[in-house]
Structure 1
Amino acid sequence: MQNKGLIKTFAILFGLICVYYLSFTWVNNRVENDAKEFANGDAAKQEAYLDSVANVPVANYLYTEYTHSEIQDKAINLGLDLKGGINATLEVSVRDILMGLSNDSKNPTFNKALADASAAQEGSDETYVNLFFDAFEAESKGSVKLSDPTIFGNKSLKDKINFKMTDEEVKSVLKDEVKGSIGTAFEVLRNRIDRFGVTSPNIQRIGESGRVLIELPGARDIARVKKLLTGTAKLQFWETYDNTETANFFIQANSKLAEILKPEVEDTEETTDSIASEDSQIDDLLGKVQDSIDTKATSPLFSIMYPSIPQNQNQRSSVVGSANVKDTATVNKYLAMKEVRALLPNNMVYAKFLWDAKPVEKTEVINLYAIVSNREDVAPIEGDVVSDASQTFDQMGVNPEVSMSMNSKGSKLWAKMTEENVGQFVAVVLDDYVYSAPNVNGPIPNGRTSISGNFTIDEAQDLANALKSGKLPAAAKILESSVVGASLGQEAINSSAIAFILALCIVLIWMIFYYGKAGIFANIALLVNILFIFGTLIAFGAVLTLPGVAGIIITIGMSVDANVIIYERIKEALNKGKVLKEAVKEGFSLEGALSAIIDANITTFLTGVILYIFGSGPIRGFATTLMIGIITSLITAVFITRLLIDWYSNRDHTMSFNTAITKGWFQNIRVDFLKKRKIAYFISGLIIIGGIGSLVVNGLNYGVDFTGGRTYTVRFDQPTSSTEVGSTLKGVFGDAPEVKTYGPSNQLKITTKYKVDENSVEVGDEVQELLYKGLQTYLPDGTTLEDFKISSTDTEHKIGLMSSMEVGPTIADDIQQAAVWAIIGSLIVVFLYILLRFRKWQYSLGAVVAVFHDVLIVLAVFSIFYKILPFDMEIDQSFIAALLTVVGYSLNDTVVIFDRIREFTGKHETWPFMRIVNAGLSSTLGRTINTSLTTLLVLLSIFIFGGDSIKGFMFAMIVGVVVGTYSSLFIASPIMYDTTKKLIKEK
């Protein structure tokens, strides 16, 4: 081997760099362990400790010049499934952007086109803008133009659109405007996330779709994160009416509602009268119901809302009423009625009613305000005038608030507004919630003001960050979210560590058992490979996820393959009588093992690329580690192992590349594989036909990311019946959710489609509250809603919600399409690569048919057994990742065999083609069994010890490896033979 010195230098330097990066993870873990010991189980105390040392140089460890925050940035990034946190796909509403560009047009053609585009989007992968253009064209039929003054030919777009422009010209402008708005939204979200304060946040745009992927490992307050991501931060300053101006209106409104709602009340009275019973308790209950009905009949508004009616001037206030939080929707409905709004005095015809941002402290009562609006509903001052914002405290230094400063334009407007409203009230409104409505004591000329509102410090910081980042051009809704508690993340780390160590030990022992001294050198190369993988992950800031850990462990199993191929070649050369040095040179040559190794690794690498392109979140983590592992294993197997063997052989040592037990294994094998191909075709055909039948009858157990809905992992303190829980929750959700045991008998996975089309934070909270209500009888006494919710701080054993996942129907369709394209794309890429390398379409056909065969059988197994086996067998994104990895593995095996067949074709021109194929299959059988066995042992270790969330993924891999090994022997090569034999003259 040439340039040994250069390779040694590179290996040593790269190894030292990897050790350097890994040392930061070691130091970070030591600091966090110190925090855990100091806190002694108190999560808040632990967090306070870490905050206190965040910007302090680390003492007593390496790199004392670095602060803990800097060390944390350089440590390995753990994904949310290992650390806890939130992963979400958001979509900036293009519909809302178009509405904004039209100045909230009331044009019926425009609004109908928006509605049609929204409906069409659910079943289309076309962009919303193009769907809107198609819908507008179909609705208008040329009678209305996009440049119409009531649509986009308005004042705000006058510099870009005029009424003379054609629809095509307007479309071009609108596409640019939408693209710019999406770009602005991305920057706003990124600024918010950057200021949020989590380690290694990830935010990515997904094409030009308006979708944004956000990953926040270690995020502590999940509700706070969701609020931060979905709030538009539309800041407005409004004048308000006070309670002296609204009191008479509310009294009249209450009377009017009594008239309007009288028929409903009478119907209720009739129902009550029809109930008769001799039981006195029922009579008492009916009496209470009748009292309630009487109250509703005379005071329908005041029965749920408490108006603020002042008795004197001292009771004057900006708060015009209050209600229980649960009744606010009904109050809004009543106050929006045309008959009720007609009662507003002339100076209040454009009044709008907004609620406080938070209930009164320690209550469920929330205050109502009456805002002085106008025909256009445009605030006198909006948030674009804010130049800076920060979290501060009030004059007493106790209550958190937000201090704001305005630009010159805002300062003038604010000075004018406060001067004109001395003695009156001005409301600070954010996203249609009132944060404060103070009395103006005098003009404020300097453009500074503050927002107070019963904040916590975190809430004040988030509000300041949102104001500094700017408002979103349109609302961002969460299409898909996955939340993992810290407890489940810690369990995943523990189980992954066990699986990793066990898999590594199995491979190390097997290599020494099978290859003796040569196995030791392969093991050293494997350990160096692991060092390189982790070092590379840290150096490039890649995130390590649970599937990523699986990718590394699988790489351990598959990286042995290169050494096996090389060692089998060396053994062949030694058996031919060559000396060790010549045999080693032949084994590592391009004509020997190198060609097969490169081809096999490239095909697997290509599947990793496809996974990365079509996957998201943890799947990308899996693809990343798989691709890095393939590259590093190729380097270590070809170069590090060669250096070690050359060093050993140069000292006149001998090696047999086997042990006394394994000597002669798989040598001189002569199996007539092709003779058995028809039996194999029959068996495969039978399984596939049975699988297709099962797919028709049983279908597949699609996960929530393919169907849409919400999935929760819930842990109880004792074994719990899934059937019983399902029946109980049916009464809560209306329809019975899917409930199944997930791992241990005290852990359930609950999937519901309740309000699946609504993905607001409020609906998500509602579903969790309903789930808590339905499960209360199964939870320990005293378990509160807060105890039940996901914890991102408690890493110890926890009862209640462990993780959740929410996927909207639209993105579920998109995930399905991406999965299909990923599988089709992988087959096309593989076909083209093998065609390029082997120059014969018969080789490509054999490989693709074998891969397609493997995919069908894995699907058949999952269809037949998902109702029988005691672990989760959902078809989700992880399953697709497993399927594509199986594709890569099967190809790896097939390509090695094809490479040997191609070699024998050139060497033995007089042999019949059948003999060549059989010889190629027989001569690689040792390598095939060796690699398959080590890979299977690795996969089994992960399956047994790797945690519940990855069992289905691993089972698909196990089935795939078995089927892939079988298909490369009995499907791929026979198909290639059957399509080639007619072109070759048999002898």
Structure 2
Amino acid sequence: MQFSPIRTAVIAIVALLGVLFAVPSFLPQDVRDAWPSFLPKQTVVLGLDLQGGSHLLLQVSEEGIVTERLQSVRRDARNILASQNGIGNLITTDPATNSIAIELTDPTQKEQAKTLIESLQNTVSNGMFAVGGVNEFAFGETPDGKLTITLTPEGISQRTSSLVAQSIEVIRNRIDELGTTEPQIQRQGTNRILVQVPGFGDSTRLKDIISRTARLTFHMVYPGMSAATAQAQGLPAGTMILPSQDGGSELLYEDVALGGESLVDAQPSYDQQRAMPVVSFRFDTRGAVTFGQITSANIGKRFAIVLDNTVITAPVIQSAITQGSGQISGNFTTQSANDLAVLLRAGALPASLDIVEERTVDASLGADSIQHGLTAGVVASVLVVAFMVIAYGLFGVFANISLILNIVLIFGALSMLGATLTLPGIAGIVLTIGMAVDANVLIYERMREEQKAGRSPLQSINAGFERAWGTIIDSHLTQLIAAIVLYFLGSGPVQGFAVTLALGILTSLFTSYMVTLYFVGLWYRSRRPKTLKIQHFRFVPDGTKIPFMKISRYVIAFSIVASVLSIGSAYFKGFNLGIDFVGGTAIVVQHEGGPADVGQIRETLDGLNLGEIQVQGFGTPEDVLVRVQAQEGGQDADQVAVSKVRDALAGENYTIRSTEAVSGTVSGELAWKGAIAVIVALVAILIYIWFRFEWQFALAAVTTTTHDVIMTIGLYSLTGLEFNLTSIAAVLTLVGLSLNETVVVSDRVRENLRKHRKMPLPELIDMSINQTIVRTTLTQFTVFLALIPLVIFGGEVIRSFTIAMTFGCFVGMYSSIIVNGPILINFGLKSKTDADDADKKSKPADGAAV
């Protein structure tokens, strides 16, 4: 109880830093600008679901990389054999094996041809190393004598990785040209790029600007033959047919006369003579010289400007162009001309990108989410603070001071780390409010027990904090394990929830022990009370002796039946899976003229021929959720479906508030990662509890928790609640909460095993549960008080999450109190007397032969 000046200083410094880092998030911009320079100005970063914006997950098309690389290798092989060395050949491409086959017209030149094509060998690196790399090609020969060049899997992988890094820089340049603030662009895995642009609501334009390759090339048009004739008679060597912007097609030379990499500037402009928007471009010195040579040598011939394998225009060269500039004309609007100029200035993407996940939130929906989260947080805080005062009086006030500081420290840590706060993250903070008092309840209940055992107030306070600390560490670390697994195996909003939950757990350890102890110590030194009046209210009276083990067989039978029903429902009925797991598109629309007519919307959309469409209310009477199944044409077809829904509802005064599109590839990955997350969390917790307790405790804890997970999954199946990514977060958080209760009971059982060596195990477990049931009911009630406002005020986005968490509170309390004990016995846990007897029987008697 004697606090050193160092401990007091640590508490003061941590509290001050927490306030300084948290305050800027609640101040207007002009006040932050006037903030002294030596004070922190960084604020909590709001997620897209709170401030609106667009989220895109892009995937580099490996198929496109291979196709383009094979075309390039084919051109290089033809050039080095025929053009430079006069070796006749016929080259065919085999996409199935990622290779080309070269048939020589003169087989006697095979050895020379082998040497020449092997000189094409190239090493590629993923850009992480300055030197080294892997061979891109493998050379071989077919049984009929053809030479082959095959792209190696390692080369494809390295080239893909390198192109992702280049693509990130191009995307960043393009977004910077748009003038948006604080975009987040980062690599995910080996072939994906995550792009988040807050405040940019035009997702269609953003997708077009980001995902368009914008590869500009210049080709000579093949003279004397149309594309239709070439298709009928066969392509001349070294030519290709590309579609044109006007709906036709052009026969072009394959060789690139001039590439877009020579561009140094591109600007939108207006052609006064033709009264149309155009894009003016300018080459660097080398490009200008090449452009001048091409135009001088080909006057009267057609010259095609190709953008992403589409001929934009193919004018006749009237005269030599030596100034190094020109213009691109087409069916441009003012905005499309500006966007094309942006693309050309930023540079072409080195590979085509597919949009595999898209989430767009309107700013008004984000503001609603903030309001929902704040309302839930305020109501939960008031309920928990009031209950703690009612239950513990002055000691409840001490706990509330720690709780308030805990919330301040969470916001301060989020600001300092630059972490993103999402709506599930707000739910994590609200949940932390309920869990933060758990440690204080543990301490206070231990203090009551120590005083009841005859110790003085000072001894009771010291023992309460010291003996509860081990249990607090165990219970908090099991929750922290679940949060860590969520962060590394989750994505987006789930990671935001994991961050706030983990920070809340860590700050709770500091405030519930250090800060509460400090205020209790101040109070004791000033008052010197003869007795401690700690608790004023309790759900279960002292001296309760409920015979839990006598009804255990009925409880186990009930749990087995309920678990079988849950598994059966999950197997036969299935789940109402969200698009996170099945793919497709979810669109939230709002009616501007009053309550939405769900039946009318369903009737309007049924005629669009988009497959299965679900229409349901979404929180307020004005909001409606439209779910469209994944379209057969992939992501492009999904975008067309969104446009059709938008156009169909536009005339009915409906506005789109958010869209969420997930491809089948990503949905399968998310489902697999969710299952892995639950398994990894259970295994990690099993290892930790095994390390801290005996093996029976670990297996019993995991079995009990698995029972809770099965029951919660059964709730999703039986009630039809949407099962999505946040549901995985709910399940893993439930794992932490359930283990929290189980660890507290197990810790008391272990302690009583040392104290009461001769007590039969069923009686000892009954006593342990009755000793901890007061604490269990109080802490679960505080978590319940925090969750109910989330269910009522948290909004529709996280409703299935909060309902599952509330249900999980009761299931976790039930299993920790009643189910865990019988499982411990069935796993062979023995009292100390039984264990000693077993050891004596296993040892030979004195003088016995061994």
Shorter chain as normaliser: what TM range?
A: 0.7 to 0.9
2:202 to 221, 242, 257: 221
C-alpha separation in 1, matches of 2:196 and 2:530: 51
Report the CA distance shift for 1:800/1:603 in structure 2 as closer, same or farther (over 3 A).
same
1:837 paired with 2:821, answer no
Gaps of 5+ in 1: 32-57, 115-131, 137-147, 250-335, 356-366, 781-798, 867-872
Partner residue, 1:319: none
How far did residue 461 of structure 1 move?
A: 6.3
1:667 paired with 2:649, answer no
How far did residue 92 of structure 1 move?
A: 0.5
C-alpha separation in 2, matches of 1:625 and 1:891: 19
1:182 paired with 2:61, answer no
Matches within 5 A, 1:63-78: 63=35, 74-78=42-46
**Aligned residue type for 1:629:** G
**1:468-507 per-position Cα deviation (integer Å, ceiling 9, x unaligned):** 5433232111111111111111111111111010011011
Matches within 5 A, 1:523-672: 523-589=400-466, 592-654=467-529, 661-662=536-537, 666-672=541-547
**Aligned residue type for 1:221:** D
Report the CA distance shift for 1:150/1:756 in structure 2 as closer, same or farther (over 3 A).
farther
Report the CA distance shift for 1:658/1:677 in structure 2 as closer, same or farther (over 3 A).
farther
Matches within 5 A, 1:303-452: 341-342=231-232, 352-355=242-245, 367=246, 373-374=252-253, 376=254, 378-386=255-263, 388-389=264-265, 406-420=283-297, 428-433=305-310, 445=322, 447=324
**Aligned residue type for 1:905:** L
1:477 to 344, 354, 377: 354
2:677 to 818, 822, 825: 822
Question: Which range moved further: 807-816 or 199-208?
Answer: 199-208
**Aligned residue type for 1:604:** Q
Partner residue, 1:685: 560
Report the CA distance shift for 1:410/1:714 in structure 2 as closer, same or farther (over 3 A).
same
How far did residue 749 of structure 1 move?
A: 1.7
Partner residue, 2:645: 771
How far did residue 721 of structure 1 move?
A: 5.1
Partner residue, 1:311: none
Report the CA distance shift for 1:344/1:556 in structure 2 as closer, same or farther (over 3 A).
same
**Aligned residue type for 1:617:** G
Partner residue, 2:34: 62
Partner residue, 1:290: none
Secondary structure at 1:769's aligned position in 2?
helix
Question: Which range moved further: 437-446 or 698-707?
Answer: 437-446
Partner residue, 1:145: none
Secondary structure at 1:577's aligned position in 2?
coil
Secondary structure at 2:5's aligned position in 1?
helix
C-alpha separation in 1, matches of 2:31 and 2:747: 57
Secondary structure at 2:806's aligned position in 1?
helix
C-alpha separation in 2, matches of 1:541 and 1:235: 39
> Is this contact kept in 2: 1:565–1:593, CA < 8 A?
yes
Number of aligned positions between the proteins: 788
C-alpha separation in 2, matches of 1:664 and 1:175: 62
> Is this contact kept in 2: 1:757–1:809, CA < 8 A?
no
Report the CA distance shift for 1:821/1:340 in structure 2 as closer, same or farther (over 3 A).
same
Partner residue, 1:498: 375
Indicate the RMSD between aligned Cα atoms, in angstroms.
Answer: 3.8
C-alpha separation in 2, matches of 1:630 and 1:495: 23
1:700 paired with 2:575, answer yes
How far did residue 105 of structure 1 move?
A: 7.5
How far did residue 737 of structure 1 move?
A: 1.2
Question: Which range moved further: 545-554 or 95-104?
Answer: 95-104
C-alpha separation in 2, matches of 1:443 and 1:495: 66
Pick the structure with more strand per residue: 2
1:735 to 607, 611, 617: 611
Report the CA distance shift for 1:158/1:695 in structure 2 as closer, same or farther (over 3 A).
closer
Report the CA distance shift for 1:113/1:711 in structure 2 as closer, same or farther (over 3 A).
farther
C-alpha separation in 2, matches of 1:907 and 1:469: 74
Secondary structure at 1:975's aligned position in 2?
helix
Secondary structure at 1:220's aligned position in 2?
coil
C-alpha separation in 2, matches of 1:64 and 1:403: 47
C-alpha separation in 1, matches of 2:456 and 2:296: 100
**1:915-942 per-position Cα deviation (integer Å, ceiling 9, x unaligned):** 3222221111111111100101111110
**1:874-927 per-position Cα deviation (integer Å, ceiling 9, x unaligned):** 111111110110011101111111111112222222322223222221111111
C-alpha separation in 1, matches of 2:617 and 2:751: 52
Report the CA distance shift for 1:535/1:450 in structure 2 as closer, same or farther (over 3 A).
farther
Report the CA distance shift for 1:473/1:169 in structure 2 as closer, same or farther (over 3 A).
closer
> Is this contact kept in 2: 1:842–1:980, CA < 8 A?
yes
2:800 to 952, 959, 966: 952
**1:777-819 per-position Cα deviation (integer Å, ceiling 9, x unaligned):** 7x23xxxxxxxxxxxxxxxxxx422211111111111111101
Secondary structure at 1:500's aligned position in 2?
helix
**Aligned residue type for 2:16:** L
Partner residue, 2:701: 847
How far did residue 685 of structure 1 move?
A: 1.5
C-alpha separation in 1, matches of 2:214 and 2:619: 42
> Is this contact kept in 2: 1:389–1:402, CA < 8 A?
no
Partner residue, 1:510: 387
Secondary structure at 2:625's aligned position in 1?
strand
> Is this contact kept in 1: 2:590–2:596, CA < 8 A?
no
**Aligned residue type for 2:709:** V
How far did residue 174 of structure 1 move?
A: 3.7
Report the CA distance shift for 1:212/1:516 in structure 2 as closer, same or farther (over 3 A).
same
Matches within 5 A, 1:965-980: 965-980=813-828
Report the CA distance shift for 1:443/1:531 in structure 2 as closer, same or farther (over 3 A).
farther
Secondary structure at 2:657's aligned position in 1?
strand
1:201 paired with 2:49, answer no
C-alpha separation in 2, matches of 1:393 and 1:509: 66
Partner residue, 1:15: 15
TM-score normalized by structure 1?
A: 0.73
> Is this contact kept in 2: 1:478–1:759, CA < 8 A?
yes
**1:592-618 per-position Cα deviation (integer Å, ceiling 9, x unaligned):** 111011111111001011111111100
Report the CA distance shift for 1:110/1:657 in structure 2 as closer, same or farther (over 3 A).
farther
C-alpha separation in 2, matches of 1:400 and 1:577: 91
**Aligned residue type for 1:63:** W
Partner residue, 2:730: 882
C-alpha separation in 1, matches of 2:771 and 2:173: 60
Secondary structure at 2:575's aligned position in 1?
coil
Gaps of 5+ in 2: 75-90, 102-112, 125-134, 142-148, 838-850
Identical residues among aligned pairs (%): 30
> Is this contact kept in 2: 1:710–1:751, CA < 8 A?
yes
Partner residue, 2:629: 753
How far did residue 739 of structure 1 move?
A: 2.1
C-alpha separation in 2, matches of 1:663 and 1:372: 86
**1:673-716 per-position Cα deviation (integer Å, ceiling 9, x unaligned):** 22221111111122122223322332111111111111112222
Secondary structure at 1:980's aligned position in 2?
coil
> Is this contact kept in 2: 1:235–1:431, CA < 8 A?
yes
Report the CA distance shift for 1:724/1:513 in structure 2 as closer, same or farther (over 3 A).
same
Secondary structure at 2:586's aligned position in 1?
strand
How far did residue 956 of structure 1 move?
A: 0.9
How far did residue 189 of structure 1 move?
A: 3.2
C-alpha separation in 2, matches of 1:203 and 1:346: 44
Secondary structure at 2:608's aligned position in 1?
helix
C-alpha separation in 2, matches of 1:859 and 1:345: 60
**Aligned residue type for 1:749:** L
> Is this contact kept in 2: 1:81–1:484, CA < 8 A?
yes
> Is this contact kept in 2: 1:391–1:400, CA < 8 A?
no
Secondary structure at 1:87's aligned position in 2?
strand
